Structure 1
């Protein structure tokens, strides 16, 4: 269990500002000393500084591996130097993006102003004030909207509650008196799975739908649709697992790709191969290396961040 504590958005902006100033050519040596003083003034300053530096390093590594993206981060930096400070912060926070690799930057950049967030490959657990336990899956963002109210802004959550709670999402909002449920928000629809208790789905312009334990629904702007079954266990990720039931290889790789950076896919002739089993997410490279032992496939590494599975020769 992790205790929620992150630097404020203002402190993070200050860290970004210091980082940009120190990247300028011919930096005044006194600026380094001033930055050191700022970092040592408060523990939050140092935490924000380290996160910004880690992000910068990760972005350079990711962009280096992307075709045509070699100059993207450099372009981003150079453009930022020519903009006002306010626009620079927007640029680096992901609201303004440059180049074809912009979506990679948006995906990797942490949601500094959210109450709860996770990076790629990270799952996090939080204890809320009302005693509920919130778990966020990889690359997810949620915020408190009031007592017993959550806003799912991106990704997937699992909520275990003993008091009334509501979750607002892009495609509707969901209410439970008590229970355990998973909500996964995608671009065009959301998936709801009730593990215990009961949940009410309030769709956009439609009637309220009651969901019982063991049931799953898709929710979009057109309505609510019951799913007969899932090809993977809805809440297994909270235990660091993917549990599949006759799942297509292409769908499995798409799911696994949520937990790692870069491209992960397969050729069309093996996309329909099926997997059933329990797979640990702790090391996705090791997981991938095991696939040729159970399926007639081989891994083709274009780079560390660009992997294609093809039929075994």
Structure 2
């Protein structure tokens, strides 16, 4: 359940009052009582504090101004208007830094979401297991008529319950496809231009609109789905399910593609010069500290790290 715009604005109000008071203990108790009054209040508080942590308000110019602007607005803002205002104000001082993190704001209106570098496990009402990767947002629609997970952005792993649930199919909806999972496990990732599906166990069906036909994806297969259709991938350069164990496992992967994957788990800019983009990399890398992971690259490739700030890292060829 997503909190109402009223509850979100109240949570922002409490956050600002606490910051301005230096976390006064009496005010903190009053805020605690407000949070305990309704479940929606606590949910709104968690969403606002999660966004604050992800943006790191102390480090990003304009983010604090954004919250102040929301608080002092003289007219009631619809949630979408408020989010646009927050995004716009924060970007005044950090447009390039924040550009790829705007998806985080959609967490306010999602049933479940993760911030940058976060992974989360959710036990669904039917006994299925839903795991969310970094920067992911989903909505759930579990009713008497259907079981559906809507992937708004990011990546999920779904382990289907082995117990039948009222005869309802277990569906995953993305921008490009409607998928039906059967006994087993599969990964779904929403890329800017397509949906990627990797089946670890069991089988998954693609529902084709209009015709009602099903296209089957079997155990061990990887697929790419876009507006044109579904295509099975003969080879992949990364284990699609390894992130659930906190790993990136690559097989002859381009360095530029590897850095694009690592950048999903950290803030700021991460890239490489064009002359080393096609260098190949194979190995197992742990995700808990992406910046530490990058320190391993010069041990296996003829590259060096050039770091201007905590948020800006570029990989270049060794001179």
Q: Normalising by structure 1, what TM-score?
A: 0.83
Q: For residues 127 and 56 of structure 1, do their structure 2 counterparts lie closer, same or farther at Cα, with a shift above 3 Å needed?
A: closer
Q: For residues 280 and 92 of structure 1, do their structure 2 counterparts lie closer, same or farther at Cα, with a shift above 3 Å needed?
A: farther
**Residues 1-150 of structure 1: pairs in structure 2 closer than 5 A:** 8-9=3-4, 11-20=7-16, 36-43=29-36, 49=45, 52-53=48-49, 55-56=51-52, 58-60=54-56, 64=60, 70=61, 72-73=62-63, 75-77=65-67, 79-80=69-70, 83-84=73-74, 86-87=76-77, 90=80, 92-94=82-84, 97-98=87-88, 99=91, 101=95, 103=99, 106-109=102-105, 111-146=107-142, 147-150=146-149
Shift of 1:274: 0.6
Q: Is the Cα–Cα contact under 8 Å of residues 249 and 284 in structure 2 kept in the other structure?
A: yes
* Aligned-partner Cα distance in 1 for 2:234–2:131: 25
- Which structure 2 residue ranges, 5 or more long, are not aligned? none
Q: Does 1:180 align with 2:185?
A: yes
Shift of 1:54: 5.8
Q: For residues 105 and 85 of structure 1, do their structure 2 counterparts lie closer, same or farther at Cα, with a shift above 3 Å needed?
A: farther
Shift of 1:149: 1.6
Q: Does 1:233 align with 2:229?
A: no
Shift of 1:35: 6.4
Q: Normalising by structure 2, what TM-score?
A: 0.81
For the residue of structure 2 that corresponds to 1:170, the secondary structure is: coil
Q: Does 1:243 align with 2:249?
A: yes
Give 2:219's match in structure 1, choosing from 207, 213, 216. 213
Give 1:284's match in structure 2, choosing from 283, 286, 290. 290
For the residue of structure 2 that corresponds to 1:253, the secondary structure is: helix
Give 1:223's match in structure 2, choosing from 221, 229, 254. 229
Q: Does 1:259 align with 2:265?
A: yes
For the residue of structure 1 that corresponds to 2:235, the secondary structure is: coil
Shift of 1:200: 0.7
Count of residues in Structure 1 that have an aligned counterpart in Structure 2: 298
Shift of 1:85: 5.0
Q: Deviations over 1:258-287 (max 9, x none)?
A: 011111100000100111111000111110
Q: Is the Cα–Cα contact under 8 Å of residues 127 and 133 in structure 1 kept in the other structure?
A: yes
